Amino acid sequence: MAYQRVAIVGAGITKFVRRAQETGKELAAQASKMALDSCGMTMKDIESVSLGTAPDAFDGVHMKGEYLADGAGATRKPFMRSFVGGGSGVYAIIHGWYHVASGHFDTCLVVAEEKMSSTMPHPQAAFNTIYDQFTERPLGVNLLWIFALEMNRYMQVHKIPLETIAQVSVKNKLNGLDHPCHQEGITPGPHLTVKDVLESEVMVWPVYRLMVSPVSDGAAALVLASERVAKRMTDKPVWIEGVGWHLDTSYWTNRDLYYPRYVEYAARMAYRMAGITDPRKEIHVVEPYDPFAYKELHHLEGLLLADKGEAPRLLEKGVFNRDGELPSCPSGGLLGVGNPISAAGTMKVAEIFWQLRGEAGARQVARPVKRGLAQAWGDLMQVGTVVVLGR
Amino acid sequence: MKPENARGVPLKDEDLKTGKVLTTEWRVKADYAWDCGIAIGRYLDGLKEGKIMATRCRRCRRTVVPPRVFCEWCFKPMDEWVEVRDTGRVNTFSVSFYSWDMTPLEKPEVPAIVEIDGCSPGVGFMHLLGEVGDNLEEILRRVKVGMKVRAVWKPADQRTGAITDILYFKPEEE
Amino acid sequence: MGKIDRVGRIRTLHGDMGVWHKYTFGLAGERFFRALAEKGVLLASRCEACRKTYLPPKVYCPACFAELTVWAELPPRGYVETYTFLYEDLEENRLTEPVAVAFITFPGVDGGLVHRLGEVRPEEVCSGLEVEAVLAAERSGGLQDILYFRPSRE
């Protein structure tokens, strides 16, 4: 394949909060500035901008990409926005990768931002329009239904106890306490247990309140550079070795929800590109998308990092802890840090970036890491976006 | 620059209520008139008549609901309409304590995906289950994945051509 | 449409989005609108590196991303850069009187404000017209604290 090697050379992020005073533009600017400062670059060095952000309805600004653009350093620059629901945070990096891999640009600033707090009465009201207006909305549907239906199917097919799924919440929320940007109040305390999770309110059974990631405002940014530029700037470039993305049908009631095959196809695409034939050995740290506790396990299986139905058992054995064989969501994930839709995915990529460089501070995993993977998901249980990074 | 220096000024609800921070509001006047399309039009007509209509693709041999005019796998027009049964099996279910706008419900609702008899395996649509209990324990005792269910329809003169012409699916003995 | 030949009656479903929005003004906006409400002044912020003064003010420079900490009060008079007249409202109802709307700039400042013009006859409106802001007596913190701009009086 005739494309350039692309590295991530800098990363930036804002705090994830329930409601930020900053406008979306200001959040994007804060993350972008931090990303640039982290690698000693300025706006002049950025040749293109790839922005990922989810529905305009959240921030409440039409043409949100264009609105955010000057907070993303894109004034008078080639700019593109991509959008694929929750998958946008990783999609934007894939999109940015194209900008540089094609040889068209030497640098690309990838930015993801979301300000969900503007939506009234609650972001749910915007989320609900994802359902078909004729065949679904008249039933009085709320967004949690689809997750509860998928979670129950997954549990029933593989006989997974609720306690095991609750363990994901505990792992990620406690991991998240070590992330400087974690949302205040996202975790009741440092002594959270499975019992606490199962005593939290039942929202839509089997989904309990502490199994759901919160509504958040936040932004994250990454600086991508071609090999030529990356090597001059840093002795620790993190290479984008594989990218993959895949979309399934929106007829979500016509497919079996127990397994996210669209994540598998996206992962295979990324593994093939990265030359990975045994992901369980060759991926050393992973950040699967975890908007709900069960989803981390669901996605780990889709990523072929565990056999179907095996992820819960590996979780119980401690394999996915920070000191386990395959640390998963060492950042704390969406459950532990927050969920500003697209920025959450980019936060995960930033985490792998920091982990591979040994810069993750208290979150640094115990084992040596040379290759990591970040994955996002979105829409009606539809899209998988995957990026494989390596040192 | 590290995440330790991350910016972002968190606000509390009181800050907005007390005017510590200025806010402004905008109500989007976004009203829609959605045309249902050919397939859903026929589907809704069928529901008004007390029937569930599916479409079938002969190439991939799938019979699907909700019906569509083209097969999204083969990317060709569907070949025929098929009336399917109003019975099926529960593929998955959940128990909701909140309404669409996140206000608490007095009695829980039971959303489910029902695999419809007459369609291809695993194919169905989302609806509600009824007559399965009023509280979580009762519902979890009564409802099992794989159990047979039958549609309970509104009386013919109350049907309007909507998915709610089916009130809910209730358990049926094997 | 091939073999499917019976088309159902055309049905249309009416509905809406069901959301509304409450926006914070942001770090820059908070400062700008508080100054307008409490002191009756318009502020801009300055990037020394780019030598640009921005209206509406920003906390970061869109050109070089520097954090902007220098704020200044605008001169009291601005100029109509361009203008238009509205004859209908948002619902396409005819207005009894046409409303003049202008883009108002200030010397030495990048950007400007869009607002209504008042106390002016239509034939008086022209590019280059010098104008001043007329503020509401009771101000709450928002663009409505400026009622309109009128031709400046000495």
Q: Does B163 touch chain C if contact means CB atoms closer than 8 Å?
A: no
In three-state form (DSSP H/G/I as H, E/B as E, the rest C), the secondary structure along A187-198 is: CCCCCCCHHHHH
A165 Cβ neighbours under 8 A, 6+ residues apart: A151, A155, A206, A211, A293, A294, A297, A312
Task: Indicate the SS3 state at residue A292.
Answer: strand
Q: Express each pLDDT in B81-134 by its tens digit.
A: 999 999 999 999 999 999 887 889 999 999 999 999 999 999 999 999 999 999
DSSP secondary structure of B113-160 = EEEEBTBPTT-EEEEEE-SS-SSHHHHHHH--TT-EEEEEEPPGGG--
Predicted local distance difference test score (pLDDT) of residue A213: 95
The minimum CA-CA distance between C126 and chain A, rounded to whole Å, is 30
B·C CB contacts under 8 A: 96
Task: Give the number of other Cβ atoms within 10 Å of residue C91's Cβ.
Answer: 6
H/E element holding A235?
A: none
Residue B124 domain-assigned (yes or no):
yes
Distance, CA of B145 to CA of B124 (rounded, Å): 14
Contact A360, A202 (CB under 8 A): no
Q: How far apart are the first and last CA of chain A?
A: 20
Residue B119 domain-assigned (yes or no):
yes
Residue B64 domain-assigned (yes or no):
yes
Q: Among 3.40.190.10, 3.40.50.300, 3.55.40.10, 3.40.47.10, what is the CATH number of A6-120+215-390?
A: 3.40.47.10
Residue B98 domain-assigned (yes or no):
yes
Rounded to the nearest 5 percent, the helix, strand and coil shares of chain A are 40, 20, 40
User: Looking at chain B, which residue has its C-alpha nearest residue A12?
Assistant: B3
- pTM over the 0.90 mark: yes
Contact B109, A140 (CB under 8 A): yes
Distance, CA of A250 to CA of C131 (rounded, Å): 55
* DSSP class of A335: H
| Residues spanned by the domain of B130 | 37-171
Place of tokens 């950040």: A287
Distance, CA of C108 to CA of A292 (rounded, Å): 52
Predicted local distance difference test score (pLDDT) of residue C118: 94
Distances, alpha carbon C106 to alpha carbons A68, C43, C110, C113, C136, in Å:
25, 11, 8, 9, 21
Q: Give the residue extent of every domain in chain A.
A: 6-120+215-390
Q: Express each pLDDT in A314-370 by its tens digit.
A: 999 999 999 999 999 999 999 999 999 999 999 999 999 999 999 999 999 999 999
Chain C contacts of A43, Cβ < 8 Å?
Answer: 63-65
Chain B contacts of C22, Cβ < 8 Å?
Answer: 16, 23-25
User: For chain C, how big is the Rg over CA atoms in Å?
Assistant: 22
The bridge status of strand A217-226 relative to strand A238-247 is unpaired
Residue B65 domain-assigned (yes or no):
yes
Distance, CA of A290 to CA of A311 (rounded, Å): 14
Chains that touch C (3 or more CB pairs under 8 A): A, B
Mean pLDDT across the stretch C124-148?
A: 94
* pLDDT < 50 positions in chain A: none
Which pLDDT band holds residue C5 (cuts at 50, 70, 90)? very low
**pLDDT over 60 (residue C6):** no
Q: Does C14 touch chain A if contact means CB atoms closer than 8 Å?
A: no
C24 to A22: CB separation less than 8 angstroms, yes or no: yes
Residue B43 domain-assigned (yes or no):
yes
Task: Give the number of other Cβ atoms within 10 Å of residue A388's Cβ.
Answer: 27
Chain C contacts of A44, Cβ < 8 Å?
Answer: 64
H/E element holding A136?
A: none
Contact A365, A285 (CB under 8 A): yes
B2 to A205: CB separation less than 8 angstroms, yes or no: no
C60 Cβ neighbours under 8 A, 6+ residues apart: A26, A29, A30, A33, A71, C66, C67, C68
Distances, alpha carbon B121 to alpha carbons B68, B87, B88, B125, C62, in Å:
17, 13, 11, 12, 56
A128 to C21: CB separation less than 8 angstroms, yes or no: no
Residue B102 domain-assigned (yes or no):
yes
Distances, alpha carbon A290 to alpha carbons A154, A210, A286, A388, B94, in Å:
15, 12, 12, 18, 20
Mean pLDDT across the stretch B8-29?
A: 88
Task: Give the number of other Cβ atoms within 10 Å of residue C139's Cβ.
Answer: 17
**Going from the N-terminus, what domains does chain C have, and what CATH number goes with each?**
26-151 (2.40.50.140)
Q: Express each pLDDT in C96-134 by its tens digit.
A: 999 999 999 999 999 999 999 999 999 999 999 999 999
Using alpha carbons, select from C102, C31, C33, C44 the residue that is nearest to residue C74. Answer: C44
Residue B18 domain-assigned (yes or no):
no
What's CA B81's distance to the chain center, in Å? 22
Mean pLDDT across the stretch B150-166?
A: 96
* Token pair in block for residue A333: 């994930």
